[in-house]
Each structure stands twice: as C-alpha cells, then as structure tokens.
Amino acid sequence: MSVERWKVKEKWLDKIPSYIVYEFEHYVNDKVSPSHFVRCLLENDLKEAFGQADEGNRRRMFDLASFLYCEMPTGFYGSKEKVALWLGETTVEDVVRRSIEVWFHGDREELRDELLRVIREAEKSKN
C-alpha cells in the first residue's frame, strides 16, 4: 500500500522559493533536517530566522509564516521540541523531563523530584 506524500499546495509556489518548498516537503515526508533558516521558521524562532534570511526571504517572511500557519501539518512545527521530536533528535521523555526541570524549581523541589523519579522508573521498565 502506498502512502501519498505531503506536498506544498500549488497556490504557494509563487510565494515560496522552490528550494524552500523542497526543504518543507523533505522535512515532512522524509524527516530530513532543513537548513538553519528553515529550521528557525519551523521552530517559530522568527528573530533568528530574520537574522538568517537573505534579502529575498526577509521580504517573504509574512508569506512563509502564513504558509506554516495555514498549511503545514500540525505537530511538525511550532517549537524546538516539536521539530526535534519529528527529526528523532530527542524523545518525548526528554522533552517532559526538561519541561519539569524548568517548571518546577525553588520551593517545588519535592514535586519536581517525585516527577523525575516517576520518569526514571518508567524508563527502567521499558528496558
């Protein structure tokens, strides 16, 4: 059974350069890590994306952001964690662990430690 590959819709082809269309399609379909500029877009790091963009892509930033919002499949973009998960660079457990470490600090150390203990036990039980 063949699975249809995701493609950028034709209406965007005059707004997004072909090399970026290629990167988006290979990122979604083949989990290929994109260029730094495209990765910044996918991670919703527009400050860094502007810094990495050439003159033409700076002018296209609205179209690129609109494309991501309107057309990119959900779950594949929007944060560094989502991109890293999609590319297999991290695991859900690692993302949860980092989130817990950030959210629970200071006077919540006991709760943080308990949650981390539960995660470690879950990891051991998988092995």
User: Does residue 75 fall inside a structural domain?
Assistant: yes
3-state secondary structure of 90: coil
| Average pLDDT score over the chain | 86
> Residues 75-105: pLDDT tens digits?
889 988 889 989 988 877 777 777 777 666 6
User: Does residue 53 fall inside a structural domain?
Assistant: yes
- pLDDT for position 126: 59
User: Does residue 87 fall inside a structural domain?
Assistant: no
User: Does residue 109 fall inside a structural domain?
Assistant: yes
Q: State the total domains in the chain.
A: 2
Report the 10 Å Cβ neighbour count for 90: 16
> What mean pLDDT is predicted for residues 22-28?
95
> Residues 28-56: pLDDT tens digits?
999 999 999 999 999 999 999 999 999 99
User: Does residue 107 fall inside a structural domain?
Assistant: yes
Task: Quickly tell me which residue has 């999609």 as its tokens.
Answer: 86
> Domain range holding 47?
10-79
Task: Compute the CA torsion angle 38, 34, 80, 62 (nearest 10 deg).
Answer: 20
Does 74 share its domain with 112? Answer: no
For residues 27 and 76, is the Cβ–Cβ distance under 8 A? yes
Structure tokens at 52: 């990495």
For residues 111 and 104, is the Cβ–Cβ distance under 8 A? yes
Structure tokens at 70: 């309107």
Does 58 share its domain with 99? Answer: no
pTM (2 decimals)? 0.75
Does 75 share its domain with 31? Answer: yes
User: Does residue 1 fall inside a structural domain?
Assistant: no
User: Does residue 5 fall inside a structural domain?
Assistant: no
Structure tokens at 117: 């203990």
> What mean pLDDT is predicted for residues 4-21?
94
User: Does residue 34 fall inside a structural domain?
Assistant: yes
Does 50 share its domain with 109? Answer: no
Does 21 share its domain with 67? Answer: yes
